[in-house]
Structure 1
Amino acid sequence: MAALFRRKASGRPGEWYYCLRHRTVEEGPDCPGKDRFGPYATRGEAERAMETAHERDAAWRHDPRWNDRDEADRDEADD
């Protein structure tokens, strides 16, 4: 049974995305937004999307402003 309404992918030609579902770089509105990272200004930036995500995740994990465990450890050390 076919869906009555099909969601259109949002995006424009000239914008680059990394599709998480297909693990490919796409230009413009190929896949739904829930399945992709972007938009990126260049194809090269989109190709590095997973590396960029891993780098940002690692930076976030080690950022003392967001690491509650480090703050709790400091509070216990002060007691």
Structure 2
Amino acid sequence: MALFKRTPAGKPGEWYYCLKHQVVEEGPECRAADRMGPYGTREEAGHAMETARERNEQWREDPRWKDD
């Protein structure tokens, strides 16, 4: 049994997207390795996966990162 319970760091009003449970959380509720954020609004957190896909695509298409 652990002497101290570790709680996720964060503040109320910060929004996160939990990758493990695939839900938006306020506060954070899950560990850092399982979440994306913080985001300023619940809506932004809800679009976390879409934002990540768009940024990954931009990175793939960036000529500065192409190894030809």
State the TM-score, normalizing by the size of structure 1: 0.79
AA partner of residue 22 (structure 1): H
Asked which structure has the greater CA Rg, the reply is: 1
Which of structures 1 and 2 has the larger relative contact order (alpha carbons within 8 angstroms, sep 6+)? Answer: 2
Q: Give the Å deviation of 1:66.
A: 1.0
CA distance in 2, matches of 1:67, 1:6: 45
What is the RMSD computed on CA atoms of the aligned residues? Answer: 1.1
Aligned to 1:46: 45
Counterparts of 1:1-79 in structure 2, within 5 Å, are 3-4=1-2, 5-68=4-67, 72=68
Gaps of 5+ in 2: none
* C-alpha distance in structure 2 between counterparts of 1:67 and 1:22, whole Å: 34
Return the offset for 1:26: 0.2
Unmatched 5+ stretches in structure 1: 73-79
**Displaced runs of 4 or more, over 2 A:** none
For normalisation by structure 2, the TM-score amounts to 0.91
